[in-house]
Every structure is written in structure tokens, then in C-alpha cells.
Amino acid sequence: MKFIERRTLLMASALTFALSPSLAASVFSGIDTDSDGTIDLNEAKAAASSAFDKLDANHDGTLDRAELRGRVPEEDWVIADPDNDKTLTKDEYLNYVEFAFKRADKDGDGTVDAKEARTHAGRLPMRLLRGR
């Protein structure tokens, strides 16, 4: 089989997987509690609250940059940390999750679907919702 034919076959396979409903299920596993194939803000905040608790390694009720492990981009720290104390309380974290969620919800329907989750803006809230 020629290189181009193999590459075309691989690309077609990748596109088929990327567009499949099973991808939404795997991306949203443990977050999409109503199993509708999307994440709403309440589901996002519930997952983020759990993630915060897992990330808070020293159990001081805040997350510093080390505990966040790059989850908040440098340019967003002014939004995420309004009191500029270099840590995020759970309320600040959840407010930032809401900000990131709304930025990812490109169609404004109040949910993030698998297509939106795969965008640049959608990858950020997905990282914020995972506690690992």
C-alpha cells in the first residue's frame, strides 16, 4: 500500500473516531451526570468542586500554582485570582471554571458538547474539571 493511501486511511479512521458519540462519552466520563452527551454549568461546577478537593494536596482550602499544575494559563491569572494573593480559593476556582465554561460554549446554548470540548477554548474547562 502506498504511503499516501495509508495516510488517507489513517485520517479517515481518525475523523470517524473524532465524530463518534463514544468520543463524547469518553471525554465527559464522570462529568456528564445526566448522560445527555453535553456538560452543563451545574455538571461542570460539581466536577470542578471535586477536582479542587483532589488538587488541594496540603488541604489548606486554596490552590497555588504548583497544585494547579498549569491548569490556569498565565494570561488568565488576573481573572482567576481577583485578590491577587497568588492562590485560588474554591469560590475563585469555581468562578474561573464558569468563565472558562462560558468561553467554551461557542453556540451559547448553556452546554459544552464534544465538538466544543475539542476546541482550544474547550480544552481549558475540561482540564479544570479533572482532579488528576
**40 close to 111: Cβ distance less than 8 angstroms:** yes
Structure confidence by residue, pLDDT tens digits, 48-60 = 999 999 999 999 9
**106 close to 119: Cβ distance less than 8 angstroms:** yes
**DSSP reduced 3-state for 21:** helix
Among the residue ranges 34-38, 71-75, 89-93, 128-132, the one predicted with the least confidence is 128-132
> Can you tell me the distance from the alpha carbon of 80 to that of 128, in angstroms, rounded to the nearest whole number?
12
Span 21-128: which CATH code? Answer: 1.10.238
What mean pLDDT value characterizes the chain? 86
CA distances to 7, 17, 19, 31, 90 from 10, rounded to whole Å, are: 5, 11, 14, 30, 43
Q: In this structure, what are the phi and psi dihedrals at residue 64, rounded to the nearest 5 degrees? A: -95, 180
